[in-house]
Amino acid sequence: MLLKDKVAVITGAAGINGLGFATARLMASHGAKVVLLDLAQAEPEAAASRLGDEHLGMAVDVTDKASCDAAILAARERFGRIDILVNNAGITQPARTVDITGSDYDRILDVSLRGTLYMSQAVIPTMKAQKSGSIICISSVSAQRGGGILGGPHYSAAKAGVLGLARAMARELGPDGIRVNSVTPGLIGTDIIKGKLTEEKKSEIAETIPLARLGRAEDIGGACIFLASDLSLYCTGITLDVNGGMLIH
- Active site members: 155
Cα–Cα distance for residue pair 222/225, rounded to 1 Å: 5
- DSSP-assigned letter for residue 94: -
Task: Establish how many alpha carbons lie within 13 A of residue 49's alpha carbon, considering only the half-sphere containing its beta carbon.
Answer: 4
Q: One-letter amino acid identity for 20?
A: G
Distance CA 106, CA 115 (A): 12
How big is the chain, counted in residues?
Answer: 249
Residue 187's SS3 state is coil
For 8, 83, 238, the CA distances from 69, given in Å and listed in that order, are: 15, 16, 26
Q: Coil, strand or helix: which one is 123?
A: helix
Are 242 and 215 spatial neighbours (Cβ–Cβ below 8 Å)?
yes
Closest CA to 27 of 49, 46, 55, 47: 55
Listed as own residue / partner, the contacts of 95-104 with beta carbons closer than 8 Å and 24 or more positions apart are: 95/152, 95/153, 95/154, 96/152, 96/153, 97/152, 97/153, 99/152, 100/152, 100/153, 100/154, 104/152, 104/154
Of 60, 68, 63, 19, whose CA–CA distance to 41 is shortest? 60
